Chains A and B, each alone.
Chain A
Amino acid sequence: MTAIAAERYTGASIKRSEDPRILTGAGRYVDDIKLPGMLHAAFVRSPLAHGRVLSVDVSAARELPGVVAAYTGADLEAMTVPGPDALMALMGWQGPTPQFTLLATDKVRLAGDPVAVVIAESRYLAEDGCELVAVEYDELPPVTNASFALDPGSPPVFANLGDNVAKPHSRSEFGEVPATFAGADRVYDFRIGVHRHQNVPMEGRACIASYDAGSGVMTVHAATQSVHVTKIAVAMRLGMEQDKVRVLAGDIGGSFGLKIGASREELAVAAASRDLGRPVKWVEDRGENLTTSGQAREESFEVRAAVSNDGDLLGLDVKMVIDTGAYPGMGAMVPSIVEAMFPGPYRLAALGFESTAAITNKATYVAYRGPWASETFVRERVLDLIAKDLGLDPLEIRLRNVAPRTDPPAVMVTGRPLAGVTTRESLERIAQLVDFPAFRRRQAEARAAGRYLGIGLATFIEAAPGPREPGGPSGPMGMESMRLRLEEDGIVALFTGQMPHGQSHQTTLAQIAADEFGVPFEQVRVVVGDTSVVPFGLTGGSRSATMTGGVALHGARQLKARVLDFASHLMEASAQDLEITDGQVLVRGDPASAIAVGEVARRAASGQFGAGVDAHLEVEATFDGGEGGWSGGSHCAIVDVDVETGLVTVERYVVAEDCGALINPAVVEGQIRGGVAQGIGAVLLERSAYDEDGNCQSATFMDYLVPTACDVPRIEIEHLETVPLDADVNFRGVGEGGMIVAPPTIVNAIEDALSPFGVRIHEQHLPPARILELIAGQPAIA
């Protein structure tokens, strides 16, 4: 890889083209945009988790100087079209569909539910206006957890459903489940829980909606992972034709799954702009972000494991319950992905999986970096619990159970082939990087001195994009499109539906296209964030490395062929004899023949060429993922647990990963480290906490703690040699893996540190207070 990097951009840590603006304060985030006549929105929110709305009086707010309008839920319903959640509809959801309004009308369903919106000349005045809105409520019993939600006696959060079931109970069986359990040497039962935590991008949700009555066009400046999904959501709810909605996006301050489509607040802002004929800006504050933007996880698992005396994991039988919060989000769809991924890279021959999704009076479930990650947490936790009971080493039990790499590849019991999976290699590499026997000696010495060190190991695979199924019609992630054009100044422009929000696509896609087309890196421009010029796309699911990297490669190849074909007329040479090098078209071996690609484009635009010559130097490329493949790897942590204070320090963190061929190692490593940091936060710090009345208790950064520079250690990363599956495109996604596997890695290390106390851990959130409880023998919360 390093040898190639010297000659090619692809594979080298090219400095980011995003950075000159970002480092100098010249980035353009939604809140930085000021439109003429722009107004500002602020929301009145429910103080109750569950209640009937008896009356909403916005008249005093409307009288306040500087306030231009104030809308109730009923006002908004008259201005919009009812319908299902656009994202759920787009994803083809067929299950229970709650009916809801943009702002609460009949009921409030979480503390922070928007009840009214005030539009004013400044945000300060809009918030003043909110103070003057009077709302009367009749409190209802809050549904604050999944077990109460699924009790037939709980009050339905959505009247049209009649119960609190977001996804009805279902059960699947793969392999011979009853026979496997009947024949097993040992059967274990575990209850394992994952707590509620959340994305917390540094920039919260934000939008400016600007309706132009003359053209009937709604322009939305959005912070979104997909301008097109936002466009569809706005058009649906406002009852507009899709081509009358244009969504623009510039720099976005992170998302991690939060900003997909358009939230109820953003749709209300769009409706207000159309009503007023003026631009309206809304930027959520941190309190709104922490309490109402969306939260994730909060899942419980009952796990039965069939195991041989030698430590072979023969079968699992899993019951999953997920708390999806109050309004429709993707929570109801998560169990099916958890089910499909549960076997991981292991030779698991039988899996029973049942699941239910509950509706509660809490913030809506949103995607958060590896939404299905609990399958890895539960599986890697269960393996350690079994290993402890059998007296096996964590490395040994994993190596014992990993599916061998065979041809044809082993197949997960849930159906997908484990093609090119390098889990065994990653475990063996970890064992080389971290001297386990030496650690055990140090651990024993430390224990003798009253210090508790622990080592944790966990492994994962991620379908980024996943393997091509034998006989499958197309790749596992659908199609990715890109438009590529050679401009008259020699710039190769890539129009992509990816909407980067930290992933560095403007750098990485340019690297690939520059190599493939034959121009300097600086001569490639990646255009994003405008529904009127970019094709459909979404940044999410770790899809862009393979799907967009792949379409950039194939698209650049197609554009190059088109340019050479035109140049062959211009240069009176066969296209096969031409090449593009360093931005110049030339007859191979004849430097004197060189013409700059910009000159070729200008000649094409001039119209001065013979009949029958195709001078259209633009292509629409699509890519289906090719042969695809898995991302994956193993992580190892060494922790130091202070048993007096409960404080956990991560002393060392080592990653051995395989995300295919690297496009830009520094970008890849940034994605891994960022994900690991969020995983460390999830275990040691972060929890979206609620009291028994359903009030969110983590509404500030003093209550919802995210990791700081003192909490995250240096993270050592080793890139494994990958198994190429495709002739051209072996880049694989790396966005989610760190967050998927870091939580079990850290928890496994903590349990190892506390093994002298006989501690067994069945949960993911381990702040100091909980560590002390575990040492004192307190049972699991889950």
Chain B
Amino acid sequence: MTEVDITLTVNGATRTGSPEARKTLADFLRDDLGLTGTHLGCEHGVCGACTVIVDGRAVRSCLMLAVQAAGSEVTTIEGLAMKGASEGGTGRRAGGGEMGVLQQAMWDSHSFQCGFCTPGMIMQAVAFLSDHPDADERQIREALSGNICRCTGYQSIIDGVLLAAERGRERAAREQR
């Protein structure tokens, strides 16, 4: 199998690797970079567990090859907390259970149970909220309808996203004053 040298930015750091051309971005993140927060739930692009943010857009990392991410900026669940507050993070280094705004809201809302869908659900919600900070419940449900959770019946997840959106708006209002 042909290996291809790639360079990309993952969670703010420059990373290089030589994945096989056929290797998915998800497998590259998990196996080559050790970022196992990104989960694989179906490997055919339906369940959304593997969702990461590539150049500002939520993508299914099981449907994208690692080589296609060369030169891109990738954010995974592990990198979320270190993003700036406006992007749902705290600006501090990831690790040690540091949480961003959305993660904190989801903790407060008892959003998840088994946690397997969680990283993809959060990345999808982060990408959506950054574009739609005023989204209502209907819009949030639509936006997350490509991410399957088998445990919760979704209500607690939706509540977490709504709470994060509300806190985001409050923060924005405080900064304007």
Chain A residues close to B by CB (< 8 Å): 13, 15-16, 18-29, 31-32, 34, 124, 200-203, 251-254, 256, 285-286, 501-504, 666-667, 670, 673-674, 676-678, 700-702, 706-710, 712, 714-715
Contacts and interface: CB of A to CB of B under 8 A. Distances in A.
Contacts of A678: 150
Given A203-B114, A286-B42, A701-B44, A23 B107 contact: yes
Contacts of B148: 202, 701, 706, 708
Given A13-B110, A667-B110, A701 B42 contact: yes
Contacts of A24: 37, 77-78, 80-81, 94-95, 97-99, 103
- Give 6 closest A-B pairs by Cβ, nearest first: A25-B37, A253-B116, A22-B115, A25-B77, A673-B153, A502-B114
A374 B11 CA distance: 49
18 contacts: A16-B110, A21-B115, A25-B36, A25-B37, A25-B80, A25-B119, A202-B47, A203-B116, A252-B114, A253-B114, A673-B156, A701-B42, A702-B44, A708-B148, A708-B154, A709-B142, A709-B149, A709-B158
Given A203-B114, A708-B148, A26 B37 contact: yes
Interface in B106-141: 106-108, 110, 112-119, 122, 140-141
Given A24-B78, A202-B47, A710 B122 contact: no
Contacts of A674: 113, 150-153
Question: Of residues A13, A666, A670, which shows the largest number of chain B Cβ atoms within 10 Å of its Cβ?
Answer: A670
B40 interface: yes
Contact of B110 (A124, A253, A666): A666
A709 B151 contact: no
Main secondary structure of the interface of A (DSSP, over half): loop
Nearest to A28: B36
Question: Of residues B76, B98, B140, B152, which shows the largest number of chain A Cβ atoms within 10 Å of its Cβ?
Answer: B152
Contact of B22 (A124, A504, A677, A702): A124
Interface in B31-58: 31, 34-44, 46-47, 49
Contacts of B86: none
Contacts of B108: 15
A642 to B, nearest CB: 18
Contacts of A673: 152-153, 155-156
B166 interface: no
A202 B116 contact: yes
A29 B39 contact: yes
B20 interface: yes
Nearest to A665: B110
A189 to B, nearest CB: 36
A201 B97 contact: no
A32 B38 CA distance: 10
B27 to A, nearest CB: 8
Main secondary structure of the interface of B (DSSP, over half): loop
A685 to B, nearest CB: 11
B145 interface: yes
B46 A701 contact: yes
Contact of B38 (A23, A25, A708): A25
A32 B37 CA distance: 8
A16 B104 CA distance: 12
Nearest to A251: B115
A589 B97 CA distance: 39
A7 B77 CA distance: 36
Given A23-B112, A712-B154, 11 more contacts: A22-B115, A24-B94, A31-B39, A32-B30, A203-B116, A252-B114, A253-B114, A286-B43, A502-B113, A670-B152, A701-B46
A707 B148 CA distance: 8
